[in-house]
Each structure stands twice: as structure tokens, then as C-alpha cells.
Amino acid sequence: MGWYERLISRNVPNVTPEDAWRRLQDDSDVLIVDVRQPIETDSGSVPGAVLIPLTEFGRRLEELPRDRPILTICRSSHRSPIAARQLKKAGYDVTNVSGGTDAWRKAGLPFVKPTGRAGAG
């Protein structure tokens, strides 16, 4: 985890992409939220990810279920910790994925064309 990620993710737990993938496989209640811009997600995202750009995040929090654990992810973990902090402050059970989709892809984890919507599942 880089210094920037440590700075902005205070009070929010972080997991590696591999641990996040295991959580998604082991617990169908876990929801992953990709906060990248639509043009960034055109190339793909984590399977089942809900796409809510960070620029829209504050006004779209109500789309996310409060009764499910949430993982946040972006490209390199500069934006997702900000989203995670917003969720934590609003009372959500949230964890940030360290290293973002860059680390996710580097780990060889599945990456697909996005289809998810908030609250789906």
C-alpha cells in the first residue's frame, strides 16, 4: 500500500485483490463497487461490480444496500479509499481493495465487461 492510500484510507480496512476475490467467491452478499469513470470501465471491471463513478458517489449512496458488506475499487487506489471513507462515515460495512484494478489485473484475476447495477444481486 502506497503512502497516499494509507493517508486517505485511515479508519477503513484494506484487502489485497486476491483476498477481495476470495471474499466475493465465498460470500454472495459481498458487493464490489467500481468508482472509476465510465470510459475507464469500458475495458472491463471485476465480475459483478457495480459502477458508480466517484464524481457521482455522494449523491448515489442510497443506491447501495446497507445490509451487505461492500468492497471499493478504482484503478490504482487513489479514488476508492475516498469512496470507502464516505461509506464508512454513512454507516456502511466497507473495505477498500488495495492497488485497485491495476493490481487486480496484475494478479491475473478475472476482468470482464461490466454489467452490474447498484443494489443488484
**Half-sphere exposure at residue 86, Cβ-oriented, CA atoms within 13 angstroms:** 18
Mean predicted lDDT score pLDDT of the chain: 89
The catalytic residue among 54, 70, 74, 87 is 74
Asked if residue 116 is part of any domain, the answer here is no
- CATH code, domain carrying 96: 3.40.250.10
Asked if residue 113 is part of any domain, the answer here is no
Using a 10 angstrom Cβ sphere, with 0-12 exposed, 13-18 middle and 19 or more buried, the burial of residue 7 is exposed
Q: What pLDDT was estimated at residue 4?
A: 52
> What is d(CA 102, CA 61) in angstroms, rounded to the nearest whole number?
25
30-56 pLDDT, tens digit per residue, is: 999 999 999 999 889 999 999 999 999
Q: What pLDDT was estimated at residue 11?
A: 80
Could you list the residue range(s) of the whole structural domain that residue 41 is in?
Answer: 3-106
Q: How confident is the model at residue 121 (pLDDT cuts 50, 70, 90)?
A: very low
Told to judge if 74 belongs to the known catalytic residues of this protein, a careful annotator would answer yes
Asked if residue 114 is part of any domain, the answer here is no
For residues 117 and 50, the answer to whether their CB atoms sit within 8 Å is yes
Domain count, the chain: 1
